[in-house]
A = this chain, B = another copy of it.
């Protein structure tokens, strides 16, 4: 179980959401409220879009709460679109390539969830990654593999459809593996212009997801950054958020699988 935030809006210092709020992401790294374990101390990451096509990225194995660099970077880096996750490792080692977010070219991804029993289906999920993307696999997590699989499933043409197709295949793989472990997918994806966030599980309650809009800004979070719950809307299971560069924030149900397959 991890915690994350994604932001799109006017250019702000990352500290506004990562370190300053009463229940900021850094506080959540220590004392999360809506996850099974309160501690998300197995590394963290920052990814932000600036004046390059690809995002900048900072990942570190130390807990977010004790990293002096994180505090400085959040105060000095400004961005109109950024991701910040903190990690509670499950079965893969705590090292930088296993920390979220994952980046490939202009695409960035982070994930809170699990892909059934990873040890049972890892090879099959890795086989979804096209050869030209497999060399970008520098870690061993399920999340990085799923990201590269989504990239290979037509992300440039239609990011939502690519994600739906990948989830459909993953769901089949998890079922076929005979595990009772769920597929849980509470994730964010961006190309630097548009932001997509997903809340899904195949057979139980997906990990939590909330968002808050104000003016043209949207911040999407695993759990609210403060106690003013009225400002935070829960994303229902099987729903996604689309925040295009200059558009409104849309909350949609997942498209039907048949609809995806037809595309």
Contact = CB atoms under 8 A, between A and B. Distances in A.
A58 B69 contact: yes
Interface string A129-166: 00100110111100000000000000000000000000
A263 interface: no
A255 B135 CA distance: 34
A89 interface: yes
Interface string A39-57: 1011000001011100111
Interface string A225-251: 000000000000000000000000000
A127 to B, nearest CB: 9
Interface in A90-135: 92-97, 119, 122-123, 131, 134-135
Given A119-B135, A123-B131, A131-B123, A94 B66 contact: yes
A129 B45 CA distance: 32
A79 to B, nearest CB: 9
A73 B58 contact: yes
A95 B97 contact: yes
A57 B61 CA distance: 18
Contacts of A191: none
Contact of A39 (B30, B51, B123): B30
B62 A69 contact: no
Number of identical monomers bound together in the oligomeric complex: 4
B68 A52 contact: no
Contacts of A41: 39, 41, 63, 65-66
Contact of A137 (B61, B89, B140): B140
A72 interface: yes
Contacts of A66: 41-42, 89, 94
Contacts of A77: 56, 76-77
Nearest to A48: B76
For the complex of A and B, the 8 pairs showing the least CB-CB separation, nearest first, are A56-B76, A95-B95, A119-B135, A66-B94, A41-B41, A57-B72, A56-B72, A58-B69
25 contacts: A38-B38, A38-B39, A39-B39, A41-B63, A42-B66, A51-B78, A55-B76, A56-B72, A56-B73, A56-B76, A57-B69, A57-B72, A58-B72, A60-B69, A62-B94, A66-B89, A66-B94, A68-B93, A73-B73, A95-B97, A97-B140, A119-B135, A137-B140, A138-B140, A139-B140
